Amino acid sequence: MSNRRVKEKTGKVKEGLGWATGDRQVEAEGHLEHRKAEEGEEDVRLDEREVKAEERRVRRSHGDMD
């Protein structure tokens, strides 16, 4: 399995774990990591601002905020 595929799968697992535990930040991080790996980015390190923006999107999608 390629490094890219491992990063994709790891991000997806992290996203699912965050969803299952209600930890929206972990869910958002996982989603971003998965998306970056899927797009072919070698470096999937996350910027705090992009995590916060994704967390807000995730919270809205779950109805956690207006």
Q: Tens digits of per-residue pLDDT, 1-57? A: 788 889 899 999 999 999 999 999 999 999 999 999 999 888 878 999 999 999 999
Cα distance between residue 65 and residue 36, in whole Å: 26
Cα distance between residue 28 and residue 17, in whole Å: 11
pLDDT of residue 45: 84
Q: Which amino acid is at 35?
A: R
